[in-house]
Structure 1
Amino acid sequence: MNRIPPVVLLIIATILWGGNFVIGRAVANDLPPFTLAFFRWCVALIVFLPIIYTALKREWPQIKKHWAIVLVLGFTGVASFNTLVYIALHYTTSINASLMNMLTPVIIYILSFFFLKEKLNRNQIIGTVISFIGVITIISNGSIKALQHFSFNKGDLIVIIAVILWSVYSLLVKQYAKELPGHTTFFVSIAVGIIMLLPFYIFETFTTSMVIHWSATSIFAILYTGILASIVAFIAWNTGVVKLGANRAGIYLNFIPVFASIFAVIFIGEKLILSQVIGGLLVVTGVFWTGRKITTENN
């Protein structure tokens, strides 16, 4: 991947992550959420192991030293985030879910303010307000009546919880980037996440009333999410970030809902409605606004 231009790598990653939302929605009636998440990460672990094995032996003492952080990474980034998204996709559209995923940078700013005591500047506050207005527009379908009665889709609310957990994961990765090696830490996080998911998968298997449909579609979904959306997208994104820089690369995350919306309309027949367009534009505007630098004028 080192020969591929960084912009291409970042776009490949966002295409694959955009597809993850649509795949989750497409097999919502075939695979229960914990089943899909569990098998996804099992496939990812198996595929990633030969790639990472040599580095893992070398870097294991460094990872072991920060075992508590790795446990939190496994819980938030592997066991929780995608599983909650898959649960949410039983109730909401892949377009809604991917649009609200854009809140991540804004929530990271908020978490940094509360837990790391980092100050929020004027642009970050304005951008946060704009983004949350966008999210309210999306989850209410632009309906004043829905706002008055707080009758929101529970799937949308679950996605917001998932995004908060993913923001915690992202913030920890950023904070410990110099102390924890990226690829091997991700591998160990996958292993931790699988262990955490196992009892929920077993419980779901014996209690769900949903009939699991093992078909070419469901198997493709597991392989796609386990190999392409997990390993290939992760390596492509990290390589692109190293080449281009984290700040410039972060803008490309806004392509995820674009690709997710295109795939949702083409492949699973979802319809893009006006409130999603308006809400999505507000969220994007807010995210860009939070990233603007404060400029001062000389009097």
Structure 2
Amino acid sequence: MNQTTTSTSDTLSPQTWAVLIAMLMIDSFHLIFGRLLTNYMSPFVSALFLMLVATIEVGAVLAWRRAIDWRVFWQHRWFFLAIGGLVAGSTVMNYTAVTLIDPGTASILGRFATVVTLALSYFWLKESLSRQELIGAALCVVGAVTITFQPGDLFRTGSLLVIGALSFYSLHIAIVKRYGDNMDFGNFFLYRVATTAAFLVIFTLLSGNAALPPSRQAWLIVLIAATVDVVVSRLLYYWALRQMRLGIHTILLTMTPVLTIIWSRLFF
């Protein structure tokens, strides 16, 4: 992987703020979709078909625009294989976790990733951390430890899965920030979802859970979740990441659990 860097500013434009608000709203549905899909299929199958549908959607748009460049993947193959494997593992663990604990709790616990991501931004990306960011990280550690060590084996297992999933995702986003900022955005996103889908095919086959969505309703949820939770959500996520420091991006995402808890109470 070749290191690339871009300069980002702490001053956010109105356009960036609008994207951030939309991203936070949509991102808060991630575990809600995961919980809905557990009623129809295993976490492996859910994650796999979401990523396959997302790959087809993104690939179709880029093909229509004649913008697919296979050289981008080949020149950065180890980068894409690394982030694809990390995101695939993270997604399966997240979807498995919401079969054991409710999405609201999982989302709160997921803020433990704030600590991991801020550590990566400071020690690896050499970004400076403000006093507010350090205080926020400390509060996340306290909250994560408190929630993780609650009574009940299933609760602890679900909590550990969430922490593992978010640690994987934090590492992937640090890799993206360090090496991916200068890549063509469309091709970056295509190969990100495509390599994730490829790893999910392998994971699903190895798990012995390979199957198709069992009903039209399941397919409909897969289509909606892939479009909203993968394509739209991650497009906003990665675009916003290019506009600011990783530390600021991470701190802003700590607001998503509040919305996730609201959706969790409404739907479940």
TM-score, structure 1 normalization: 0.72
Q: Do the aligned partners of residues 199 and 134 (structure 1) sit closer, same or farther apart at CA in structure 2, a change above 3 Å counting?
A: same
Q: Do the aligned partners of residues 260 and 169 (structure 1) sit closer, same or farther apart at CA in structure 2, a change above 3 Å counting?
A: same
1:97 equivalent to 2:106? Answer: yes
SS in 2 for 1:186: helix
Could you tell me which amino acid in structure 1 is paired with residue 67 of structure 2?
Answer: A
Q: Which of 160, 185, 195 matches 1:157?
A: 160
Identical counterparts, % of pairs? 21
**What runs of 5+ residues in structure 1 fail to find an aligned partner?**
269-299
Distance 1:198 1:179 in 2: 29
Number of equivalenced pairs: 251
Equivalent position of 1:291 in the other structure: none
Q: Which of 175, 179, 200 matches 1:176?
A: 179
Deviation at 1:32, TM superposition (A): 0.2
Equivalent position of 1:271 in the other structure: none
**What runs of 5+ residues in structure 2 fail to find an aligned partner?**
1-13
Could you tell me which amino acid in structure 2 is paired with residue 138 of structure 1?
Answer: I
Say what the alpha-carbon RMSD is for the aligned residues.
3.1
Deviation at 1:50, TM superposition (A): 2.5
Equivalent position of 1:55 in the other structure: 67
CA contact (8 A) 2:117 2:250 kept: no
Which shows bigger deviation, 257-266 or 47-56?
47-56
Could you tell me which amino acid in structure 2 is paired with residue 91 of structure 1?
Answer: L
Equivalent position of 1:214 in the other structure: 215
CA contact (8 A) 1:92 1:153 kept: no
SS in 2 for 1:56: coil
Q: Do the aligned partners of residues 126 and 228 (structure 1) sit closer, same or farther apart at CA in structure 2, a change above 3 Å counting?
A: closer
Equivalent position of 1:273 in the other structure: none
Q: Do the aligned partners of residues 113 and 212 (structure 1) sit closer, same or farther apart at CA in structure 2, a change above 3 Å counting?
A: same
Deviation at 1:7, TM superposition (A): 2.8
Equivalent position of 1:14 in the other structure: 24
Deviation at 1:86, TM superposition (A): 0.4
Q: Do the aligned partners of residues 178 and 19 (structure 1) sit closer, same or farther apart at CA in structure 2, a change above 3 Å counting?
A: closer
Which shows bigger deviation, 157-166 or 129-138?
129-138
1:201 equivalent to 2:201? Answer: no
Which shows bigger deviation, 163-172 or 256-265?
256-265
TM-score, structure 2 normalization: 0.80
Give matches, 1:2-41, under 5 Å.
5-41=15-51
Report Cα offsets for 1:125-178 as digits up to 9, x if no partner: 65433321111222234xxxx4xx998520110010000000110100110134
Find the structure with the greater CA-based Rg. 1
1:166 equivalent to 2:180? Answer: no
1:69 equivalent to 2:70? Answer: no
Deviation at 1:194, TM superposition (A): 1.6
CA contact (8 A) 2:204 2:210 kept: no
Distance 1:163 1:206 in 2: 23
CA contact (8 A) 1:15 1:256 kept: yes
Equivalent position of 1:108 in the other structure: 117
Distance 1:103 1:117 in 2: 19
